[in-house]
A and B are shown apart, each in its own frame.
Chain A
Amino acid sequence: MASIARKNLLEDIPRFLVAQIGILFAVSLVTIQTGMQAGFTRSTSKLIDESPADIWVSSPSMEHLGLTLPIPYDRLSQVRRVAGVDRAEAATIRLTVWRRVRVNQVTSITLIGGEPNGLLLPSSKITQGSFSDLRQPYAIVADSASLKTIQIQQLGDTEAIGSLPAKLVGLAKGTQSIVFDNIIFTSLESANAYATSSLTATPIASPPAPKALTPTDPVSFVLVQAQPGEDLASLKQRLESTVPGIRAYTRAEMSSRTQTYWQERSGIGFILGMGAVVGIIVGVVIVGQILYASVSDHIKEFGTLKAMGASDWFIYSVIVEQALWMAILGYVPGMGMCLGVAAWTAATQGITILITPVSAIVVLGTTVLMCVSSAFFAIQKVTRVDPAIVFKA
């Protein structure tokens, strides 16, 4: 049968376009809000998920990647002695201040100190320069997305962290997290030196090279790579029972703990979720209004179909088909637009709007459900139509 639903829908092109823009808006709102929520969640644990470390050792007070009490550096050597540990490295993560001395401006940064090309600073993230260059004293690597904020132009430029110089030797991409201020990578030794330098003193032009860490110097984590075939749960238990004053987490546990903290404590998940709900409500209202108006305009045609002997289910199927066409024709451009926006924000703002095949399918299902449920009032109207209206001029 010729699709009465599709043809009725396309009969009035301007109204159809208005409806589709409404659905596009609703789809975009839902996709962007849920994408931001998913992107935010993933972003909080990005450094953990992308690190090859199997186990993270930290203070028992650790809340998430960026909030922990320090542990002494000699935990590293203790961890290395535990059976089943293939490789272990110390890392520090702390908030500090980026100083642009010449213009007397400061910006907060998240300073990550670790082993160059090690478990926390993988070379795959480097786009210019090398993490190996972090072995130079007071050398740093910044994420490209931070350059605008820390106001540094090119490799070789120097500003200051605390009272010590910070020379840009490399650029990374895709390391920025939405919950951390501008991420700056450096060596463990430089990070330790920055941590103990004065935030207010005039920066020293040529300071002595940073010292190697002593057993009592503070670090945030010890990252562990297990020997091949090692059972991580067993290794984790051995670490906790052998090394004093620590907790050990597998990568999945560490990632989950960090994500949960931000979801539950920040309230951002609720806010973004509310945005998605508003998107759905807007979509339901727009589609419902359009379908109701369409049915009202074609009420005599529905009456004619009833008079001709069409069953109620046939009539409903016409309306539901209209709703499905609206869903699909609103979803496709809406999702296309969202993918474009997601690519743009990732490239220019360092903000991840995560749209996965699964989330795209879920949004499609939501859109279909939204449009079909919007048909409820239209179906109510057509159910009540008296087929005898066909005889009224």
Chain B
Amino acid sequence: MPNSANIDEFNQPKFSQAESSQSRLAAVVPQPDMAIVAEGVEVSLSAGQQQLQILKQINWSIRAGDIQLLMGPSGSGKTTLLSVLAGLLTPTVGTVYLLGQNITKMSRSQQARFRRDHIGFIFQDFNLFPALSAIENVETTLNLKGIHRRQSRQQAQALLDQVGLADKGHQLPRQLSGGEKQRVAIARALAGQPQLILADEPTAALDSQSGHAVMELLRQLAKDAGRTVLIVTHDPRIVDVADRIAHLDDGVLQED
């Protein structure tokens, strides 16, 4: 975890002259080795007169390039923590640093731009756009990043090749098996070369064999490019793909 001096340094990014103003948000302050840092994160919800504490004093660092598993029973707060770390949910208390930047301090539009430029998502239900073909699903991420159609089509095809779906680019999600859908989702998450991949129960909708194959594929593609992967799961069959495992129980984090 960074000390306060380091945190201040993260919040004062230094840019090279070559960096455009558009890329300022994406610019990363020199950060030794931590891709994700949560400092004193708490999330509380009001339920009538009662105050429910979903996350309790989470202090956690995830090393850049690691594949980190976050495990825990249903209702333990895993998805809430993932939402906080992705900048989709503002913590009641605490700060989150992603790639050296204080995402908690950012405006919603800055957070959106940060996610677009640095984070790839993989979802439990795949969340593919059902009206778009596999290749168009992958292209969407690239187009959001401002990559033009011809280039994005080539890159999307290359990503589908990498996940073993070279000949399925023009099929709609409903024409694909669960494993194939998750491969498309992985290709979409990797599009644009984000430094962080956040995956929520990526094997929940897959059978054991498909789940393991998909996780092996993700591990290989992430490791090759030195990406940091955070996988939220309660699936014990995929622990072997992880570099590190943390457990969340009743909002309290415990690292192995």
Is B15 an interface residue when CB atoms closer than 8 A count as contact? no
Partner of B125, one of A10, A311, A393: A393
List chain A residues, Cβ under 8 A from B144.
Answer: 1, 305, 308-310, 314
Q: List 7 A-B contacts (CB under 8 A).
A: A1-B143, A4-B131, A4-B140, A7-B131, A7-B136, A386-B88, A390-B88
Interface string of B104-130 (1 = CB under 8 A from A): 000001001111110101011101011
Which residues, 54 to 72 on B, are CB-close (under 8 Å) to A?
none
For B84, the closest partner residue in chain A by CB is: A388
Is B83 an interface residue when CB atoms closer than 8 A count as contact? yes
For B148, the closest partner residue in chain A by CB is: A1
Q: Which 3 A-B pairs have the closest CB atoms?
A: A309-B116, A7-B131, A1-B143
Partner of A309, one of B112, B124, B125, B200: B112
Is B155 an interface residue when CB atoms closer than 8 A count as contact? no
Is B225 an interface residue when CB atoms closer than 8 A count as contact? no
Which residues, 3 to 26 on B, are CB-close (under 8 Å) to A?
none
Partner of A1, one of B86, B112, B113, B140: B140
Q: How far is the CB of B132 from chain A (nearest CB, A)?
A: 5
B132 contacts A4, CB within 8 Å?
A: yes
A311 to B123, CA, bound (A): 20
For B123, the closest partner residue in chain A by CB is: A390
A390 to B128, CA, bound (A): 11
Is A300 an interface residue when CB atoms closer than 8 A count as contact? yes
List chain A residues, Cβ under 8 A from B119.
Answer: 309
Contact status of A306 and B143, CB under 8 A, knowing A4-B131, A301-B129:
no
B112 contacts A311, CB within 8 Å?
A: yes
Contact status of A2 and B139, CB under 8 A, knowing A304-B123, A387-B88:
yes
For B118, the closest partner residue in chain A by CB is: A309
Which residues, 191 to 249 on A, are CB-close (under 8 Å) to B?
none
Which residues, 287 to 309 on A, are CB-close (under 8 Å) to B?
300-301, 304-309
B140 contacts A11, CB within 8 Å?
A: no
A7 contacts B86, CB within 8 Å?
A: no
Interface string of B142-166 (1 = CB under 8 A from A): 0110000100100000000000000
A11 to B130, CA, bound (A): 8
Interface string of A379-393 (1 = CB under 8 A from B): 000000011101111
B88 contacts A310, CB within 8 Å?
A: no
A14 to B116, CA, bound (A): 35
A1 to B143, CA, bound (A): 6
B121 contacts A307, CB within 8 Å?
A: yes
Contact status of A390 and B121, CB under 8 A, knowing A2-B140, A4-B129, A300-B127:
yes
For B149, the closest partner residue in chain A by CB is: A1
Q: How far is the CB of A11 from chain B (nearest CB, A)?
A: 4
Is B45 an interface residue when CB atoms closer than 8 A count as contact? no
A392 to B200, CA, bound (A): 9
Partner of B131, one of A8, A388, A392: A8
A309 contacts B117, CB within 8 Å?
A: yes
List chain B residues, Cβ under 8 A from A391.
Answer: 79, 82-83, 88, 123-124, 200
Partner of B113, one of A10, A301, A309: A309
List chain B residues, Cβ under 8 A from A387.
Answer: 88
A306 to B123, CA, bound (A): 14
Q: How far is the CB of A38 from chain B (nearest CB, A)?
A: 41
Count chain B CB atoms within 10 A of each CB in A10, A305, A307, A314 and give the residue with the most: A307
A83 to B160, CA, bound (A): 90
Q: How far is the CB of A37 from chain B (nearest CB, A)?
A: 41
Q: How far is the CB of B72 from chain A (nearest CB, A)?
A: 14
For A304, the closest partner residue in chain B by CB is: B127
A313 to B83, CA, bound (A): 22
Q: How far is the CB of B15 from chain A (nearest CB, A)?
A: 21
For B120, the closest partner residue in chain A by CB is: A308
Which residues, 309 to 334 on A, are CB-close (under 8 Å) to B?
309-312, 314
B116 contacts A393, CB within 8 Å?
A: no
Is B201 an interface residue when CB atoms closer than 8 A count as contact? yes
Q: How far is the CB of A236 from chain B (nearest CB, A)?
A: 66
B83 contacts A309, CB within 8 Å?
A: no
Q: How far is the CB of B54 from chain A (nearest CB, A)?
A: 12
A2 contacts B124, CB within 8 Å?
A: no
Partner of A2, one of B125, B132, B200: B132
Is B204 an interface residue when CB atoms closer than 8 A count as contact? yes
List chain B residues, Cβ under 8 A from A300.
Answer: 125, 127
Contact status of A393 and B124, CB under 8 A, knowing A1-B149, A310-B144, A387-B88:
yes
A392 to B113, CA, bound (A): 22
A308 contacts B131, CB within 8 Å?
A: no
A1 to B131, CA, bound (A): 13
Q: How far is the CB of A294 from chain B (nearest CB, A)?
A: 11
List chain A residues, Cβ under 8 A from B121.
Answer: 304, 307-308, 390
For A309, the closest partner residue in chain B by CB is: B116
Which residues, 355 to 393 on A, are CB-close (under 8 Å) to B?
386-388, 390-393
Partner of B201, one of A1, A11, A309, A393: A393
